[in-house]
Structure 1
Amino acid sequence: MTKPLSHAKIALRRSSERGYAEHGGWLKSFHTFSFASYYDPRFQNFGSLRVLNEDRVAARNGFPTHPHRDAEIFSYILNGELTHRDSMIKKGSEGAQGKEFYRMKRGDVQFTTGGTGIAHSEQNESSKPVHFLQIWALPWKHGLKPQYHTMTFSEETKRKAFVPILSPLAAGPEATPAQEAAAIPKIPDTIPIHADFVMGAGIIAPNSTFKWNVGAGEVISSKKKRNVYIHLPMTKNGLMKIKLDSREDAILEEGDGAFITGVNAGDTLSVESIGDVEAEVIVLDSD
């Protein structure tokens, strides 16, 4: 049994305390951090983590072509379908799924390096709503070359243990153009991110416990005082519930999150599913 981390501090971010916005009847969005019209000086970022929005987009609606720069942006699809299009791709002339075009479904993660500037659209072209997490991280340097990555992560694997989704670009902040193009991550079969940042996801059966290895071992640079954010999305009509670090005062319900500080690389954080249904848990671990 994993011992509680006596040096860890856990501060809860209740779902009801998040920012909330509705746009034109097509978008419902909860904001963990200050974003767009929602501002709270207490919640600007957490380490490299800058944005965590839980979005629902109505059928036949979405985000029209818009620019990004100098941010690492990724979407984690929970339910439904979301279509990514590069600014040069027109509907009806997409070709095969790839970096410039991708129709994302549950299990897919789509990643964008904004860098010097990129424009894309993200539309729900299906007949049903889409529910996803939109997450931004602050890159370790500005002026990077824009690019996209998309990967699929299986339900079966997530039910066994936390699955790494993102890990730092292996070549680091001083990567050459060739190393940037190769896009090799520190952890195999993950998406490379330009930050000292690891993302994981797991689906935990009731009365079961998964363990998160802070910093994912030796893959990160900043070993001390990591910033770990745990999020429990709203996907099971309020039936999911988890307990962190075996603490009775660290129980999360759907939509809740937790800021975990004072932890170091190599610490083991336990996440126990104590609800009536399996719990899908997102871990965002940054410097």
Structure 2
Amino acid sequence: MSKTLSHAKIVARRSADRGYAEHGGWLKTFHTFSFASYWDHKFSHFGSLRVLNEDRVAAHNGFPTHPHRDAEIFSYILSGELTHRDSMVRRGAEAEASASGKDFYRMKRGDVQFTTGGTGIAHSEQNESGKPVHFLQIWALPWRTGLKPQYHTRSFDEAAKRHGFVPILSPLKAGVDATAKEEQEAVPKIEGTIPIHADFVMGAGIIEETKKFEWTVGGGEGVVEKRKKRNVYVHLPMTKGGKAKIRLDSREDAVLSEGDGAFITGVNAGDVLSVESVGEAEAEVIVLDSD
């Protein structure tokens, strides 16, 4: 098969090589990058992408209230439920917060919850349901420190993800010098996405067997500032019992199994990366495209 991006370098990050930990019987977590008790100097960050954890939390367990600052933190729910409470929402007022779209209460599949840690927040994430929750926790480094803490949550349509990559996050339209008013308005570069304080785009798609999706590096015209030598990470979560597989850029040496990811370098905004489902089950694919 011919390569469509001959200038791109693709290096796989195999699932078995990730950091792994079990905590008290309630949390099973895989770390793509160094995190908490897992450290590997070769995997500290990739562009502004700093953390990619694939977590499973047992029923009636979770992360107690803990602080964050100066990080863009987001959760992508794969299955189950995860309840978010934070220092900006009064307990008992979650329904009102959820309705606003700014602060969120109970996340389910299709939901993405986003936190700007900024000058400091505290939150908890608990699985209050009777079933396990499986989700990705992702962090990006913001373009500047000392931002005002913010929360956003959106639900992204399952059917749309089966037709092509759906943009999830895109940079705040007002950019690094946004005013307080522009921060409050929180308008993203790509309509319908969650705004992030980074030159960063996230997409998600569900690719049926034998089908192929295409990701435009940089998220499309005029979305990102850095156009040359972007860093794209593609991740295939463990959702189909090992039956899902994808092939990147039509390369036989770039086939990913569940839990695998790939570092893609040498690509420029506007390049088109093909992602083909070559397994025995549909593949849910996450693309993290950073500076």
- 1:285 equivalent to 2:289? Answer yes
The 5 Å alignment of 1:80-159 reads: 80-87=80-87, 89=89, 92=92, 94-96=94-96, 97=98, 98=100, 99-159=102-162
State how far apart, in whole Å, the 2-side matches of 1:87 and 1:136 are.
Answer: 19
Alignment-derived partner of residue 64 in structure 2: 64
Task: State how 1:1-287 maps to structure 2 within 5 Å.
Answer: 4-87=4-87, 89=89, 92=92, 94-96=94-96, 97=98, 98=100, 99-217=102-220, 218-287=222-291
* Change beyond 3 A, Cα 1:268–1:93: closer
Give 1:100 shift: 3.7
Quote the Cα distance in structure 1 between the aligned partners of 2:4 and 2:88. 51
- Separation in 2, partners of 1:118, 1:2: 49
Q: Using the alignment, how far apart are the partners of 2:147 and 2:236 within structure 1?
A: 32
Of 99-108 and 204-213, deviating more is 99-108
What are the Cα deviations for residues 172-217 of structure 1, in whole angstroms up to 9, with x where unaligned? 0000000000000000000000000000000001101000000012
1:87: Cα distance to partner?
A: 2.7
Contact 1:2 1:270 (C-alpha < 8 Å) held by counterparts: no
Q: Distance in 2 between matches of 1:229 and 1:192?
A: 19
User: Structure 1 residue 102: deviation in Å?
Assistant: 1.5
SS in 1 for 2:73: strand
Alpha-carbon offset, residue 223 of structure 1: 0.1
TM-score (norm 2): 0.96
CA contact (8 A) 1:87 1:121 kept: no
Change (3 A) 1:205 1:2: farther
Q: Which amino acid aligns with 1:193?
A: I
Contact kept, 8 Å, 1:233 with 1:281, in 2: the verdict is yes
Secondary structure of the corresponding residue to residue 181 of structure 1: helix
Once the two structures are TM-superposed, the CA of residue 95 in structure 1 deviates from its matched residue by 3.5
Q: Secondary structure at the match of 2:94?
A: coil
**Do the aligned partners of residues 102 and 44 (structure 1) sit closer, same or farther apart at CA in structure 2, a change above 3 Å counting?**
same
Contact 1:240 1:278 in 2 (8 A): yes
Q: Using the alignment, how far apart are the partners of 1:3 and 1:249 within structure 2?
A: 11
CA distance in 2, matches of 1:225, 1:214: 10
SS at match of 1:178: helix
Unmatched 5+ stretches in structure 2: none
Measure, in 2, the Cα distance between the counterparts of 1:29 and 1:267.
33
Taking only the aligned residue pairs, the percentage that are identical comes to 76
Aligned-residue Cα RMSD (Å) equals 1.3
1:70–1:116 contact (8 Å) kept in structure 2? yes
Matching residue's letter, 1:114:
G
SS in 1 for 2:184: helix
**Greater CA drift, 116-125 or 80-89:** 80-89
Q: Distance in 1 between matches of 2:186 and 2:61?
A: 32
Tell me the TM-score normalised to structure 1 length.
0.97
Q: Quick check: 2:95–2:105 contact (8 Å CA) kept in 1? A: no
Q: Which SS does the other structure have where 1:76 is aligned?
A: strand
Say how many residue pairs are matched: 287
